């Protein structure tokens, strides 16, 4: 069977690589390594289809170094033992490892000493964020290099090369400018996706002319990197929340549309519940309360219809007044609690020991509840609300809060109760 177009056009030298100028350009670290005939253990990270594994192979070929391929998911101890034996025979071996973030502890334990002594030079590839997903022991022995999605100009260059290359379409086809734009728009920086679309479009091109209409048949849905566990999903969720926080309805609905393609209604719902209380909060408590029913409705109906209640509620969230007073106070309290571990005042404990009855918390003294000191002595003057926003509801809260701040609180319950009488 004929190899796929994307496979046939894989770069073989640095000059063949499209994009990634920050790595392979005139002052790029990879080009410098090739010129100096040296290489270090590296982990390439970035979205799918931008050339992480290809770049690793190019490095090996440019340096004339032996290499072995290894997949962290499917590879086993027997495979590694064979690699270690070859490394011993060669003196040093490049190990190109796909899905490097999925190396389990057993495989890591086997690899680490060989990476440490340089007998194995690891060239890892991952779509995950290595700062979160790569084991620190592996990460500390490697340099992390990010590969970026290709620009539209890069994609257009790749398509032009594919049209002319002997191992590509060999100048046997022509392509409309609109078709090129359509492929670039939907490929989302993934050169492999773009070449796959080009190849299948060529198969059905009458008179060997690739038109925009033909391309449209195979690009009904743009290439979305948000599926599965890839960081693209979390980037979309982040973009959705920031768009709502910035009151940009159009952007928020667009990112919802992208997230909806994954069908992960629970993930979207969890984020909206957090957004309501984190970014809207005390500015609009009624809207926070409406978030749960809207989310429950979306979960009940499921996709594709779930996008309707989700979208309507996102519009509401976007256009609402915003306040971070509540979440800022919560985070400040959390930070102080981590720094200061103070004893709870005895009179607030469930079963106080060593206190006389008149020194204990009295459940009957409603008139004194707001005069009791509830914070431990070292934190008795703690103020988590330096300011409130200017919306009407928060102004009401501010007035109540300021009045309570004027109240003199005390830990001397015996005298407090006496004064109350």
> Using one digit for the tens of pLDDT, what is the confidence trace for 13-39?
999 999 899 999 888 999 999 999 999
Specify the pTM: 0.59
223 vs 312, more confident: 312
Residue whose entry in the numeric block shows the structure tokens 């719902």: 269
What was the pLDDT predicted at 294? 94
- Return the minimum-mean-pLDDT range out of 71-85, 169-183, 341-355: 341-355
Would the pLDDT of 193 be above 80?
A: yes
**194 and 161 Cβ atoms separated by less than 8 Å:** no
pLDDT tens digit string along 98-134? 888 888 888 888 888 999 888 999 999 988 878 777 8
First to last CA, the chain: 96
State what percent of residues in the chain have pLDDT above 90.
36
**125 and 95 Cβ atoms separated by less than 8 Å:** no
Sign of the four-CA dihedral 85, 90, 92, 95: negative
144-173 burial, b at 16+ Cβ within 10 Å, e below that, comes to ebebebbeeebbbebbebbbeeeebbeeeb
What was the pLDDT predicted at 228? 45
**34 and 58 Cβ atoms separated by less than 8 Å:** no
Would the pLDDT of 417 be above 80?
A: yes
Would the pLDDT of 227 be above 50?
A: no
Angle between helix axes 285-301 and 265-275 (nearest 10 degrees) is 180
Angle between helix axes 265-275 and 249-260 (nearest 10 degrees) is 150
What was the pLDDT predicted at 107? 85
Region of 49 (left: φ > 0; alpha: ψ -120 to 50; beta: rest) is: left
Per-residue pLDDT band for 148 (boundaries 50, 70, 90) equals confident
State mean pLDDT over 49-69. 91
State mean pLDDT over 289-293. 94
Instruction: Please state the separation of Cα 352 from the chain's center in Å.
Output: 48
Arithmetic mean of pLDDT over the chain: 87
What was the pLDDT predicted at 3? 84
Would the pLDDT of 276 be above 90?
A: yes
State mean pLDDT over 163-187. 89
H-run or E-run covering 286: helix 285-301
pLDDT tens digit string along 356-415? 888 888 888 888 888 888 888 888 888 888 777 767 888 888 888 888 888 888 888 888
What was the pLDDT predicted at 420? 63
- Return the minimum-mean-pLDDT range out of 48-52, 136-140, 221-225, 271-275: 221-225
Residues contacting 322, CB < 8 A, separation 6+: 245, 247, 279, 280, 281, 283
**170 and 5 Cβ atoms separated by less than 8 Å:** no
Give me the count of residues in the chain: 421
Question: How many beta carbons lie within 10 A of that of residue 19, not counting itself?
Answer: 22
CA dist 384 and 333 (Å) reads 7
Per-residue pLDDT band for 229 (boundaries 50, 70, 90) equals very low
Continuous H helices in 51-190: 52-63, 77-90, 105-117, 130-133, 136-139, 152-164, 177-187
């Amino acid at each position: 069977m004929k190899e796929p177009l994307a496979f046939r056009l894989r770069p073989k030298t640095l000059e063949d690589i499209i994009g990634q100028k920050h790595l392979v350009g005139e002052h790029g670290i990879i080009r410098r390594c090739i010129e100096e005939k040296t290489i270090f253990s590296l982990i390439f990270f970035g979205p799918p289809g931008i050339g992480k594994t290809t770049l690793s192979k190019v490095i090996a070929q440019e340096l004339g170094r032996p290499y072995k391929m290894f997949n962290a998911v499917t590879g086993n101890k027997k495979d590694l033992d064979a690699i270690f034996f070859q490394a011993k025979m060669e003196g040093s071996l490049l190990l190109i490892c796909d899905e490097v973030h999925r190396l389990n502890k057993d495989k890591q334990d086997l690899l680490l000493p060989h990476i440490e002594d340089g007998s194995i030079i690891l060239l890892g590839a991952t779509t995950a964020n290595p700062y979160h997903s790569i084991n620190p022991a592996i990460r500390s022995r490697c340099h992390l290099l990010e590969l970026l999605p290709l620009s539209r100009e890069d994609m257009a260059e790749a398509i032009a090369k594919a049209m002319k290359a002997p191992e590509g379409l060999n100048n046997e086809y022509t392509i409309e400018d609109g078709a090129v734009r359509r492929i670039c728009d939907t490929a989302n920086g993934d050169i492999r996706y773009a070449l796959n679309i080009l190849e299948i479009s060529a198969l059905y091109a009458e008179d060997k002319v690739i038109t925009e209409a033909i391309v449209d048949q195979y690009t009904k849905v743009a290439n979305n990197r948000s599926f599965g566990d890839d960081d693209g999903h979390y980037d979309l969720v982040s973009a959705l929340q920031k768009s709502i926080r910035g009151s940009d309805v159009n952007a928020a609905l667009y990112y919802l549309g992208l997230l909806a393609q994954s069908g992960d209604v629970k993930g979207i719902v969890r984020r909206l519940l957090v957004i309501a209380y984190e970014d809207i909060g005390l500015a609009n408590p009624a809207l926070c309360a409406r978030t749960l029913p809207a989310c429950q409705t979306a979960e009940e109906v499921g996709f594709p219809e779930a996008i309707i209640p989700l979208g309507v509620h996102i519009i509401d969230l976007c256009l609402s007044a915003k306040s971070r007073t509540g979440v800022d106070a919560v985070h400040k309290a959390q930070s102080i609690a981590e720094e200061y571990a103070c004893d709870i005042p005895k009179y607030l404990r469930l079963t106080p020991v060593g206190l006389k009855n008149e020194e204990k918390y009295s459940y009957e003294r409603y008139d004194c509840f707001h005069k009791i000191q509830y914070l431990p002595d070292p934190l008795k003057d703690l103020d988590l609300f330096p300011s409130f926003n200017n919306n009407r509801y928060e102004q009401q809260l501010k007035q109540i809060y300021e009045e309570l701040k004027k109240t003199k609180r005390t830990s001397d319950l015996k005298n407090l109760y006496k004064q109350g009488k």
